[in-house]
A = this chain, B = another copy of it.
Amino acid sequence: MAMRARAEFPDRRPTIRHVAARAGVSVGTVSNVLNGDTPVSDARRTAVLDAIAALGFQPNSVAQSLRRRHSRVVGLMATGAASAYFAALLESFEDIAARQGYEVMQVLSRGDPELETRRVGALLARQVDGLIMVPTQTPERSFDLIAAAGVPAVMIDRAYPDPRFDYVTMDNDAAMRAAVAALAAEGHRRLLYVVRWPGLVTTRARIAAFHDAAALRGLGAGMLARDPADDAFAAQLACLLQGPERPDAIIASNSDLALPMLAALQALGVGVGRDIGVLVFDEPIWAGVMTPPLAVVRHPVAAIARSAWEILIDRMEHGGDERRRIVHAAEIVMRGSARRRRSDTGGEAKTAT
């Protein structure tokens, strides 16, 4: 049958006109049976349906998009796909979108604002109906583009204060305070916060909360901001760990950072959960299999994806106009890596922030 169609319309897929011709009706009628709004007599309807089946006709969505003036494609702009966090995000979106008849087009900025505006431009040119985006550190030009095109957009994860868009993020301030509290409860007195991108708004909020919470409790608070891929990283970490103000617990700002950091610790012969406590932001899938298991502050990624989609679909389909700002709570999962002594490796304790 497929062969049949190819033979009849060499090198071209059948169009609505072929269907109309074969069914002996006008193109308008075919469109009507396809879209089911205007009534069509049963005789013609079945004739059309038969022709469609015989030809293997499938409507061309790009023509539809052009005429209908919307594409049912949403753009997803992330900074990278490899991290477990973004992969989970993409997966959530693809699922929800597919169920509602949308396609998702994913593009990556790799954290580069210039690349970001280029890729956003491409998405806009493709007439996406909406945009979900994890902004880079300086997203102004991209924001202007989006606003000029008048495309609904919701920003996730990093909330820059821009009144033109919706935001859904996690509560970084509360999460960090809870993290500090949990560590303090465990008996840790001197904390070190290791961060990869100190300039990110999310990170800035965490840094502020970290120092504030530590001060409130009279804990020591140090910080190391450095690319772990950098050679100097391990050296600086070693230096801090052997210095006079030796920290007894480390908070890592995300799971991508955690991996090289743990490697460095291992190379230094510093035992996690024995010589030092470790708590990391995000929940990498491998957190549970480590020995000792890794304590984490669990990023509410599924909830964020769901809220972002809800807001976007509302704006796309009903054109809501007030801007929303949603904040989800993270959850501290205490495990062996953050304990004061090596004692246990087992059970976990949870605390909602």
Tell me if A125 and B60 are in contact (CB < 8 A).
yes
A220, chain B: closest CB distance, angstroms? 26
Tell me if B106 and A62 are in contact (CB < 8 A).
no
Tell me if B82 and A91 are in contact (CB < 8 A).
yes
Mask for A255-282, Cβ within 8 A of B = 1, else 0?
0000100110010000000000000000
**A97 to B, closest residue via Cβ:** B107
Chain A binding surface, main DSSP class: helix
Tell me if B62 and A127 are in contact (CB < 8 A).
yes
Number of copies: 2
A126 at the interface (CB under 8 A from B): yes
A7-59 interface (Cβ within 8 A of B):
11, 13, 56, 58-59
Tell me if A144 and B2 are in contact (CB < 8 A).
yes
Interface residues on A, range: 35 or more
- Other-chain contact of A289, B11, B56, B266 (Cβ < 8 Å): B266
- Other-chain contact of A259, B71, B259, B285 (Cβ < 8 Å): B285
Q: Which residues of A contact B (CB under 8 A)?
A: 2-3, 5-6, 11, 13, 56, 58-63, 65-66, 71, 73, 80-84, 86-88, 90-91, 94-95, 98, 103-108, 119, 121-127, 144, 147-150, 259, 262-263, 266, 284-286, 288-291
